[in-house]
Each structure stands twice: as C-alpha cells, then as structure tokens.
C-alpha cells in the first residue's frame, strides 16, 4: 500500500504578526513548525503502515528551501521520504493555486512510482484556517474525499473503513481506494521520533521540484494564478451596547424574548 501525506511548514502561531501593507503573514524571524493538524495525518499514515507490512509513506510539501525541514522531521518519525515543491514562481499562491500545484507533484510521484492508495491531509493549517487545500487537491486528482477523519483501517477488498467526526457524533464510512481524507486531532498525537529515524533524517535530502519538473500552467500558479486576494485584515470592533437582564432564570428568559420580539427576531 502507498500513502501520501501533505504537510506544511507554518509559523509558530504564538509569535506570528500581520504585514499591514501586504496583508500577509510576517514569517521573517518567526520560528517555523510542522502544521499541528498535519502531524495527526502523518500519525494516521504511520498507524496504517504499522498494521500493513510493506506500506510506504511519502510526504509532500510546498514552500521555500527551509521547508525541507518538515520533510526531514516526518522521516525522523517514520515516513519513508518526501518531496519539496519550491520556486519563486509558486510564491503567494492562494488555496486554489496551492491545490493545483501540489496535485501536479502527487501525479508526478505516481507516474514515477505507482498510484497512491490514500492521500492524507490535516483538516486545516493554523496559518490560514481555510480547510480548503486538502479537498482542493483531492478534486484536482479526481479522488473521493472524506473530511474530519478520526480513524482509518483497511477493510475487505480494496476499501478503507473510516470513522469521521460530525457535530452530532461520528459516522462510519467504507470508501473505495484510492481516496483522500482530511484528519482531525482526535486521530492521535504524532509518535516520538526514534533514534534510528533521527539518524536517517539527519542525512536525508529530499528532492526539490520546481516548474521544470512539474511543468505547470504558468497562469495557475503563484500569485498570478490565485483568483483570491486578502484585501483587509482587522480585529472586529468591540461592541458595548450590551444589556444585562436580572431576576430569576424564567424572568430573564421572558425579558430576552420580549426584546427579540420587539426587534422582530422571533
């Protein structure tokens, strides 16, 4: 079985600031980490690898040269290898352009080494919180995609049994492979890296693919290929026109209904 895990290097959210001119994150001098939700996706892949001998786990990331460190981190924890998509042409990509570009890399990996049975993503990235890239990549690859996956195991035949979280609880699905999943933190924390894994990661140098390797449509990548822009970033204004009700709970509820009725909200 072959599994691909898409991971991202993100700034430490406790130290990130916004450039008010460009409305983009200030990354200079900010410590970078693996997107926490992507760690959950990697752990899901490694659990499947443990339970199914012969499984390989390949990680894919897009970013500047330092993003190679997240691939090395994944290798230290048990991934077999990975690829870095890197180039100035990819800079400034929104979720649409990012999904298109990473899908090209996954297709190239499949052309070189055979199809993936499963493609995993964290449910969202902490620097954007859009939750759009995973489903976008799945759409570009023509794969069925289940979101908010909590667990995954091989079912009979060519299928996976997936438990996904919902607002009301959980659902159990059986989905044919190949497929894609976005993974929630309830899937489990990433295991501790082994000494053997750390030694492998220390010397591992992931291949770096740019426009020459991927041959993208130049109108679909980077800032030029991004149909969306962040026009403004601001903190919502604090509203002070609050009203506090007193009395018993029943009296407070009655007063609230009266106010809502006066505004024709009930």
Strand partners, 6: 60, 121
Span 120-125, mean pLDDT?
95
Using CB atoms within 10 Å of the CB of residue 226, give its burial: 0 to 12 exposed, 13 to 18 middle, 19+ buried.
middle
pLDDT bin (cut points 50, 70, 90) of residue 26 is low
The residue ranges of every structural domain in the chain are 2-220
Question: Would you identify the CATH topology of the domain 2-220?
Answer: Rossmann fold (3.40.50)
In degrees rounded to 5, what are phi and psi of residue 8?
A: -140, 140
Under the banding of pLDDT at 50, 70 and 90, the label for residue 14 is: low
Q: Name the pTM for this structure.
A: 0.82
> Which residues, including other chains, have CB under 8 Å from residue 172's CB and lie 6 or more apart?
161, 162, 163
Give residue-wise pLDDT tens across range 72-87: 999 999 999 999 999 9
Residues 225-238 pLDDT 10s: 999 987 777 777 87
On the question of pLDDT at 173 being above 70, the answer is: yes
């Amino acid at each position: 079985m072959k599994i691909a895990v898409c991971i991202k290097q993100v700034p430490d959210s406790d130290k990130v600031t916004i450039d008010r001119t460009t409305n983009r994150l200030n990354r200079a001098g900010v410590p970078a980490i693996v997107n926490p939700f992507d760690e959950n996706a990697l752990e899901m892949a490694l659990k499947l690898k443990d339970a199914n001998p012969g499984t390989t786990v390949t990680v894919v990331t897009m970013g500047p040269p330092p993003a190679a460190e997240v691939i090395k981190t994944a290798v230290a924890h048990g991934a077999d290898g990975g690829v870095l998509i890197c180039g100035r042409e990819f800079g400034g990509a929104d979720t649409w352009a990012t999904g298109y570009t990473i899908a090209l890399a996954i297709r190239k990996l499949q052309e070189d080494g055979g199809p993936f049975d499963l493609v995993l993503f964290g449910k969202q990235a902490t620097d954007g919180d859009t939750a759009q890239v995973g489903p976008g990549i799945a759409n570009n690859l023509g794969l069925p995609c289940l979101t908010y996956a909590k667990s995954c195991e091989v079912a009979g035949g060519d299928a996976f049994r997936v438990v996904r979280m919902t607002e009301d609880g959980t659902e159990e699905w059986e989905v044919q492979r190949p497929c894609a999943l976005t993974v929630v933190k309830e899937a489990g924390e990433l295991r501790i890296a082994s000494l053997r894994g750390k030694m492998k990661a220390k010397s591992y140098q992931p291949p770096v693919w740019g426009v020459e390797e991927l041959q993208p449509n130049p109108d679909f990548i980077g800032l030029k290929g991004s149909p969306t822009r962040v026009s403004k970033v601001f903190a919502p204004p604090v509203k002070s026109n609050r009203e506090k009700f007193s009395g018993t709970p029943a009296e407070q509820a009655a007063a609230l209904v009266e106010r809502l009725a006066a505004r024709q909200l009930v």
